[in-house]
C-alpha cells in the first residue's frame, strides 16, 4: 500500500524545498534524516534535543555545509511529517515523544520525497548526491504500509546507489533494519547503563559518516556508511 502520499507534482516540489535561485552550487548533497518520536523514546527527550543540536552544528561547521540540504522527518502514532530540503541552519532540533511507531510509512514517504527532489534537481542539470538515514528504537506498530512495501522503497534507494543507514537503538530496531534491507546498520544497546552516552555516540557517528559520504567525489555509494 504505497498511497500514503501521492506522487509529488512539480509545483509541490518547488514550493516545499529550497528554490533553485537559492542554490549557489552545481553540486548538491541531500540528507534525509527520519527520527522516531514514539512514546518509547519518552525518557530521552532532553538528550534527543541536545544531540540533534550537536548533529546540526557538526553539519553546519563542515566544509560541505554550503552544498548540503537537509530534510528532517519525524514519526509517531499515525503522524509522519517530512520537512522540505532546506539549508542546515533551518534544521529544527525540537523533540517530543508519544504514541506508536509508523516506521514503514515514514520510510515510504521519506524515500519518495527524496527521489522526487533528487530527480527534479538532476533535471535542472545539478550534480546530486544523497544520504537516507533513519533513527528508531523499535518495531513498526502503526503503519498503513507493510514491511514488504517499505523494503521495496529501501531497495530502490539502494539500486540508485543512495546510502541507506539505520541507527538501531535496541534489538527490535536492529531486526527491523535488517528486514528492511538497509545497507548500513549502527547497533546501539538500549539497555546500556548510560543510554545518554549511547545516544551521543549514535548522533556523533551519524554526523561524521554523513559528512564523509557527501565529501566523496562522485555519486556512487561506496559501501557501509558507518565504516567509510
What is residue 32's predicted lDDT score, i.e. its pLDDT?
Answer: 97
Question: In this structure, is residue 99 part of a structural domain?
Answer: yes
Indicate if the pLDDT at residue 226 is higher than 80: yes
Question: In this structure, is residue 4 part of a structural domain?
Answer: no
Question: In this structure, is residue 1 part of a structural domain?
Answer: no
Question: In this structure, is residue 32 part of a structural domain?
Answer: yes
Question: In this structure, is residue 96 part of a structural domain?
Answer: yes
Domain of 125 in residue numbering reads as 10-216+223-227
On average, the pLDDT of the chain sits at 90
Share of the chain above pLDDT 90, in %: 74
pTM: 0.92
Instruction: Give the model confidence (pLDDT) of 185-225 as tens digits.
Output: 999 887 778 888 988 999 999 999 999 888 876 655 556 88
Question: In this structure, is residue 2 part of a structural domain?
Answer: no
DSSP letter, residue 182: -
d(CA 114, CA 32): 7
Indicate if the pLDDT at residue 80 is higher than 60: yes
CATH code, domain carrying 143: 3.40.50.410
* Number of domains the chain is built from: 1
Neighbours of 227 (CB within 10 A): 9
Residue 103: which of 137, 75, 72, 79 has the closest Cα? 75
d(CA 2, CA 187): 28
Amino acid at each position: 500500500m504505497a498511497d500514503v502520499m501521492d506522487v509529488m507534482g512539480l509545483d509541490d516540489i518547488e514550493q516545499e524545498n529550497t528554490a533553485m535561485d537559492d542554490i549557489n552550487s552545481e553540486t548538491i548533497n541531500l540528507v534525509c534524516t527520519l527520527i522516531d518520536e514514539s512514546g518509547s523514546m519518552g525518557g530521552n527527550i532532553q538528550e534527543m534535543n541536545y544531540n540533534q543540536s550537536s548533529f546540526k552544528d557538526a553539519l553546519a561547521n563542515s566544509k560541505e555545509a554550503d552544498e548540503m540540504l537537509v530534510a528532517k522527518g519525524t514519526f509517531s502514532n499515525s503522524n509522519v511529517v517530512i520537512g522540505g530540503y532546506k539549508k542546515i541552519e533551518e534544521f529544527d532540533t525540537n523533540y517530543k515523544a508519544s504514541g506508536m511507531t509508523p516506521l514503514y510509512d515514514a520510510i515510504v514517504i521519506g524515500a519518495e520525497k527524496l527521489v522526487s527532489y533528487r530527480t527534479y534537481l538532476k533535471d535542472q542539470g545539478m550534480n546530486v548526491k544523497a544520504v537516507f538515514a533513519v533513527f528508531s528504537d523499535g518495531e513498526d506498530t502503526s503503519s498503513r504500509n507493510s514491511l514488504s512495501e517499505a523494503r521495496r522503497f529501501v531497495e530502490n534507494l539502494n539500486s540508485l546507489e543512495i546510502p541507506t543507514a539505520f541507527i538501531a537503538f535496541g534489538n527490535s530496531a536492529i531486526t527491523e533494519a535488517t528486514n528492511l534491507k538497509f545497507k548500513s546498520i549502527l547497533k546501539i544497546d538500549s539497555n546500556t547503563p548510560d543510554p545518554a552516552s549511547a545516544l551521543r555516540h549514535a548522533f556523533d557517528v551519524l554526523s561524521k559518516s554523513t559528512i564523509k559520504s557527501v565529501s566523496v567525489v562522485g555519486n556512487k555509494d561506496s559501501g557501509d556508511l558507518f565504516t567509510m
